[in-house]
Chain A
């Protein structure tokens, strides 16, 4: 068992799995930061952009705020879709290797 554990740990597939997860979560974290702080700094630095009216009185800031929440949720959907489609099958395969040997 210990031997097969070491083999998995050293395998290219396992290392790829770790780095893939790190890449995906880093990209999504960067997007999340960009979306949230983009919105916050827009308020701080360019308020005129948010106060322009898109309806009779409705300023752009209101739908934009809703969009930030929706975008944050969409990021979680992306992660789950990726993890279900790519990560889980790979985990299952590697776990199978561990048990079969």
Chain B
């Protein structure tokens, strides 16, 4: 059993030949793919949905690549290293939305939609109000998620490569924009597939090397952790203290997935509902496997590197996995893992940018401003302009929020997704009496409550704004249980008060498309 503590010297934070080489190779390959994809990206169907040519297996990998962020990889490994078992509880929460996505909406979404989830919400309702409301919900979700990703990526790249924060933001912004602007969804899909493969391979290798240190007996690894940090490291700690808090966070993670625009958009890239369903099976498998092995990396870092060394590098523990890689595989393996983390950031931000841009160009520009009558060229041009604007905003917001505590923004993105987007989506698909007014008020109620309540919750009021604990106005760390319930209630009540015979009539025809895929694009 290895019980040595790693040397404190580390090349982490300096650009090394292996890390730069791996990084350049990844960027060159993905840019070559973008060049290839650009020649196949002329129409709107190609730009937003990769021509619906993505197979179920490819989409499963791309979904995994779209979803597993640097926060899952570096963050959960670090959390397990520093807090032990609590990191595992957290990881499990990130997985359980996937089966729900399959059971409830994957197939109807694919059958009803064209390019964005707003297509589905607005399918039989009045276009202008529903499109505007859906775009607000969608863009807010994507925006908060993007800020969290950009701020995280700037600090991570600075930690790993030693690049100044602002330069890191600009590099991420430029490469990501190259993918999306020129290669649209096709390039984004392949970047996400490559990233998923690299991430799964990198973490698998890391896991095997860690287990090899303990004769392939996880029990010996746990014993080493317990010897160093006590049995408590292997037991639930303070994460689940209030059952209502845990319930609310669980709801946000589980059902929020069903309202994430960049994830939902991926379902329009496969040929039919069956492929949509099977792609979730693959995605759940890949993501589940990842969350099963990532705690081993975290425990390995605690046992072999030690918590002190990890927190010396980064208080949040994000450098646990890179430090472990360097300790076990030297500078080349660290270089590989650092490059993988970089690719992870690029793939997620590219997916987010495409989703944000689509909400602007497809929902607002085409359906609201142009009344649904835009030519192919006009829409593709608008989507590229929207992509560029969104990308520039992402970089600027990343720089603006430098050094700020933005960890809550991921939770906020999930809270808005599950409170604003998810109720409207589900009610529109399954409830005949749902009306335009109902949809608009459901989305606005969910979005406003999610944002408002999180500001007066301990997450922001105490942790970010540094107000005293007693002055907190809303007790839950994540508002989902309140804001989502309110959105459903408002959506149902307003629908019952307003009648829309046209929407009800269309619901009957819609059924053939929802269940049989007749007329699906």
Chain A contact residues, CB within 8 Å of chain B: 5, 8-9, 14, 17-18, 21, 24-25, 28-29, 32, 36-37, 39-41, 43-45, 47, 50-51, 55-59, 61-62, 65-66, 68-70, 72-73, 75-77, 79-80, 83-84, 88, 91, 94-95, 98
Contact = CB atoms under 8 A, between A and B. Distances in A.
Contacts of B239: 43
B277 A91 contact: no
A29 B96 CA distance: 10
A46 B246 CA distance: 15
29 contacts: A9-B508, A14-B511, A18-B511, A21-B515, A28-B99, A28-B103, A32-B103, A36-B250, A36-B254, A41-B243, A43-B89, A43-B240, A44-B240, A50-B236, A56-B223, A57-B226, A59-B234, A59-B235, A61-B85, A69-B288, A72-B95, A72-B96, A72-B99, A72-B284, A73-B99, A73-B284, A80-B277, A91-B515, A95-B518
B405 interface: no
Contacts of B277: 79-80, 83
B247 A40 contact: yes
Contacts of A75: 99, 103
A20 to B, nearest CB: 10
A29 B426 CA distance: 14
Given A29-B103, A65-B92, A83-B277, 13 more contacts: A9-B508, A9-B512, A21-B515, A41-B243, A47-B236, A57-B223, A59-B231, A70-B288, A72-B96, A76-B280, A80-B278, A95-B517, A98-B518
A58 B222 contact: yes
Contact of A58 (B102, B218, B292, B508): B218
Contacts of B89: 40, 43, 65
Interface string B229-245: 00100111001111100
The winner among B247, B295, B518 for most chain A CB atoms within 10 A is B518
A56 B234 CA distance: 12
B14 to A, nearest CB: 36
Given A5-B509, A25-B103, A61 B96 contact: no
A49 to B, nearest CB: 10
Contacts of A40: 89, 240, 243, 246-247, 250
B285 interface: yes
Interface in B67-114: 85, 88-89, 92-93, 95-96, 98-100, 102-104
A44 B515 contact: no
Contacts of A57: 219, 222-223, 226, 231, 234
A84 B56 CA distance: 14
Contacts, number: 143
Given A58-B234, A62-B85, A66-B292, A36 B96 contact: yes
Contacts of B392: none
Nearest to A47: B236
A57 to B, nearest CB: 5
Given A47-B236, A72-B288, A76-B281, A58 B219 contact: yes
B469 interface: no
B516 interface: yes
A32 B236 contact: no
A68 B27 CA distance: 37
Contacts of A68: 92, 96
A91 B250 contact: no
Closest 9 CB pairs of A and B: A25-B103, A43-B240, A57-B226, A43-B236, A55-B219, A36-B96, A69-B288, A44-B243, A51-B235
Nearest to B517: A91
Nearest to A24: B103
Given A40-B247, A76-B281, A76-B284, A61 B236 contact: yes
Contacts of B100: 29, 32
Contact of B512 (A8, A56, A58): A8
Contacts of A58: 218-219, 222, 234
A73 B101 CA distance: 12
B291 interface: yes
B274 interface: yes
A28 B517 CA distance: 22
B189 to A, nearest CB: 21
A96 B246 CA distance: 48
B509 A80 contact: no
A47 to B, nearest CB: 6
B235 A50 contact: yes
Contacts of B102: 76, 79-80
Nearest to B299: A62
Given A37-B247, A61-B236, A62-B85, A69 B103 contact: no
A77 B518 CA distance: 25
Contacts of B98: 72, 76
B515 A32 contact: no
Contacts of A95: 516-518
Nearest to B286: A73
Most buried by A among B223, B231, B240, B509: B240
